[in-house]
Structure formats: C-alpha cells, structure tokens
Structure 1
Amino acid sequence: MARYTSSQSVICRFTQGYKNSQRLSKGTCCGCTNFSNTNVIHDRQNQRFTVDCGGAVSSAILKYTVSHDQQVELISTEVPESHRGKGVAAHLAKAALDFVVEEKLTARISCWYIRKYVDENPHLGYKAYFEDK
C-alpha cells in the first residue's frame, strides 16, 4: 500500500519495502533549470538522500546511518552553495523524516539543520520519533 503526502509543491510516495534506490519526491525545490525533474532519491545502500540538479557537483546530500537496533542517526545535510536558501535542505529533511516515520524507527539527530527543521515544524509530529542525546 502506498501513502502520498504533499508539502510545498512536493509530492512524496512511500511504499512498504523500499528498493536500494528509490525516488521519493518530485517538486520545485531548487534553482534547477528543469524544475519538473527535481527529485529526492533515497539510496538505502549508501544510506543517504540526494537531490541532483545537474550532476555530482550539484548534488545535495543528507547522510544517515542505521544501527544494529534499527535506530537511525541523521548525520549531516550538505547543500552546494549555489542551491542554498532555495528549500533543498528542507526537502531532504522531510524525505528522511518521513522515512523514519513510515518505517516506524527511532532516530537521533546529529545535524543542526534537521534539528532546526523538526523544531520549526512541530505540527508534523516528528519529535515523537527522536531520542535526545
């Protein structure tokens, strides 16, 4: 069964049983020349979410790890300077946080931006899934 949510021109599709790489969202989140092809990709094998706006140099990345007890640690969010301030990090954060919720995991936040995103969006209910450390 798939679940769809939308937020700020982004439509995310979540399914049971992700593949190693899966496109999670599509929208107009950064300064790409072709807005309709902006995607957040979840790469489970490499434990990261990415937004590719024109090649490896332009990739924004949110890195995480999963421990043996299935706890996710959201480590860092990196956005190229040319895409900062355009909502790219917010889309990465939302995709990662929705992954935590959908998979019914617990998480730790090591990334200052993700902590800020959770704090600024209490209405989304992400705090219930986090351990403060």
Structure 2
Amino acid sequence: MHSDGPDSSSTDPTPAEVACFESGIKFGSLYHQFAGTPVSPESAGSLARAMEESIENQPHCERVTVDVDVDALERELEEDAADYTELTGRFLDVEIVVERDGRRVTSRMAMDDGYPLMRVVDVAGRGE
C-alpha cells in the first residue's frame, strides 16, 4: 500500500509520483518527436492537431492541448526568405492531462524567461 504523505517509509514511488512521471514521458515524447519539424503559419493548426493525436495515443493520457503561437511564427518569418521555420518550444503552449492509479496530473509547457519550461501544475485524486 502506498502513502502520499511525508511519513511514508516506502521507497516505492507513490501513485502521484508515478502519474507525474507519466506526464514527463508524454512531454519528452512530444517535444523531442516534433522539435525541428518544418512549420509555417498556414500549417501550424494541422501540426498542433497531429501532435495532440500522437501523444494522446500513449497509455494513461487523457488529453493533450497544443497551441502554436502563429504570431511568433509570423515575426520569425518576417526577415527570412523561407516560408517556414523549424518548430521549437518558443512557439508552443502545451497542456497534458494524465490519469494513472486514481491520480490526475495536469502539466503545462510555456515560455518562461525565454525557455520552454515544462511543469506540473496540478495533482488531483487521493483514493488508493
């Protein structure tokens, strides 16, 4: 039996920790699978949907929401001769919801001081 409390003497991960780990796996897959993909303002929506559907295929994944910052893409392309650029974290705002062993973890990735920071924003559920 697991305990989520600080008095737990078990070295096994708690259900909440396992759910957070699952969330991290989803973000790793999303970011490293799609970073470098050619993207344009016109293709941003279809790429976002493909990213969502791809990651939602993974076990325990409840929902993925990907928003591509089209305004940032357009600014990037203003001084470039190409009609597309490479997808990086600076163009993405992502939310992933994972449910595992009665725990629901919501994680987000957004720019923070010029870095695409991924973080757990909520862990819900306490039943064993």
Q: Which has the higher strand share?
A: 1
Q: Which has the higher helix share?
A: 2
Higher alpha-carbon Rg: 2
Return the TM-score normalized by structure 2: 0.29
Give the structure, 1 or 2, with the largest relative contact order (CA under 8 Å, sep 6 or more).
2
Return the TM-score normalized by structure 1: 0.28
